[in-house]
Amino acid sequence: MPLSLISNDKQKRSGISRAEIADLYYNCPTDELISIGQRITVQNHGKSILLRGLVEFSNYCDRSCLYCGIRKENDYVKRYRLDKNQILEIVKLGYERGLRTFVLQGGEDSYFSTDYLCEITKGVKDYTGDSAALTLSCGIHSRSQYRELADAGADRYLIRFETANPELHSFIRQNIPLSKRLKAIETLKEEGFQVGSGFMIGLPKETDEDRIDNIMLAGELELGMAGIGPFIPHPDTPLAGSLQHPIELSVRATALLRMVLPKTHIPATTAAGTLDPQGREMMIQAGANVLMPNITPTEAKKNYLLYPGKICLDESGIQCIGCLSIRVKPLDRELSFAKGDTL
């Protein structure tokens, strides 16, 4: 076991090689992976689980990604948009409850022009000042658009690369090349954003080597946050009926990702909690240190179904915070309301 490499907490990246990760991927028992991932997490992040309040502001999307439940061709979706005032109200409620990071996520919805997103960003930042961080997650835009958003006060940007396999990426994202996504990530970093990215795991046609590449690519991108979500086939998409892999695949990948990125924030994703009632807990044990309560109003969030069976649809998100604090106790962790900047 290359423990010397993975215990170095001075560096952002561990320097662990692809061959070593591959060896662990193929040969290391899950309980061992979890215990290594957990040790590195506690060494670098302590026992805190950071909270990020998620606001799903629009389920309109101009894109046709094969995996995604809100793809534009899905006529069964009841579409909605939250307006600026609604978004600000949600942020205020979350702020009063103690949240200090807000993630505004939406489909690639051209109704939300850069000007409008800037207005919303300014509204949030006028209210929170620098005491809270604002993350945007609304797809690929041009450098000048990213710059305007940064100038308006947005601190962070979330944009998953989805898969490190270029052919698979083009297939699932309907000919949008991986290189375009990676370019967007670089541009965002150059424009001063703390960038979060990551991938789905268990996509159709994905190989073991692709999964190792995903982990290594997340390692190379110098991310502030890196997330893994199990792919969950949505019945109203072209990938309906694909094989659903067990949660263990995501848990093992989380531990390996933690070995590659000791300092990076790693969320225990809602998709993991959807696939298995203990999925988020398992991810925390393997290496995650972030939870993202969904503070979207219940009327809206039930229509933001990227995948089926999403959890917490009846809870306000503020209620989720109470639930999450109970859930992390047996793991010997506690929720943190810190802003949680990139380390």
Which residues 85-104 are close enough to bind ligand FES by CB under 6 A? Answer: none
Which residues 39-68 are close enough to bind ligand FES by CB under 6 A? Answer: none
CA angle at 215 for the pair 63 and 206, rounded to the nearest 5°: 55
Interface residue with ligand 5AD, options 37, 139, 219, 229 (CB under 6 A): 229
Q: Does 232 bind ligand 5AD (CB under 6 A)?
A: yes
Instruction: Name which of ligand 5AD, ligand FES, none residue 107 binds, using a CB cut-off of 5 to 8 Å depending on partner kind.
Output: none
Interface residue with ligand FES, options 1, 3, 240, 323 (CB under 6 A): 323
CA-CA distance, 201 to 206, in Å (whole number)?
8
The DSSP H or E segment spanning 92 is helix 84-96
- CB of residue 267 to ligand FES, shortest distance in Å: 13
- Which residue type sits at 163? T
**Shortest CA distance to 188 belongs to which of 237, 222, 231, 226?**
222
Give the pair of three-digit tokens for residue 187. 């541009």
Instruction: Name which of ligand FES, ligand 5AD, none residue 160 binds, using a CB cut-off of 5 to 8 Å depending on partner kind.
Output: ligand 5AD
Interface residue with ligand 5AD, options 103, 271, 272, 295 (CB under 6 A): 271
How many of the chain's residues bind ligand FES (CB under 6 A)? 5
The nearer residue to ligand FES, 203 or 268, going by C-beta atoms, is 268
Which residues 170-229 are close enough to bind ligand FES by CB under 6 A? Answer: none
Instruction: Name which of ligand 5AD, ligand FES, none residue 320 binds, using a CB cut-off of 5 to 8 Å depending on partner kind.
Output: ligand FES
Stretch of 45-53, 216-224, 231-239, 245-253 lying at the interface with ligand 5AD (CB under 6 A): 231-239
Q: Who's near 207: CB < 8 A, 6+ residues apart? A: 165
Beta bridge partners of 53: 102
**Shortest CA distance to 162 belongs to which of 154, 147, 150, 174?**
174
- Which residue type sits at 3? L
Interface residue with ligand 5AD, options 200, 216, 259, 292 (CB under 6 A): 200
The nearer residue to ligand 5AD, 200 or 261, going by C-beta atoms, is 200
Interface residue with ligand 5AD, options 55, 77, 215, 306 (CB under 6 A): 306
Which residues 303-322 are close enough to bind ligand FES by CB under 6 A? Answer: 312, 315, 320
CA-CA distance, 226 to 228, in Å (whole number)?
7
Q: Who's near 175: CB < 8 A, 6+ residues apart? A: none
Q: Distance between alpha carbon 41 and the CA centroid of its chain, in Å?
A: 17
**DSSP string covering 310-338, please?**
-S-SSS-SHHHHHHHHHHHGGGT-EEE-S
The nearer residue to ligand FES, 185 or 324, going by C-beta atoms, is 324
The nearer residue to ligand 5AD, 199 or 262, going by C-beta atoms, is 199
- The single residue listed with the structure tokens 């929170």 is 128
The nearer residue to ligand FES, 255 or 312, going by C-beta atoms, is 312
* Edge-to-edge order in the sheet of strand 334-336: 290-291, 48-51, 334-336
Give the pair of three-digit tokens for residue 193. 């954003």
- CB of residue 185 to ligand FES, shortest distance in Å: 29
Query: Do strands 48-51 and 101-106 pair parallel, antiparallel, or not at all (unpaired)?
Result: unpaired
Contacting residues toward ligand FES, per CB under 6 A: 312, 315, 320, 323-324
Contacting residues toward ligand 5AD, per CB under 6 A: 67-68, 160, 162, 200, 229, 231-232, 234, 271, 306-307
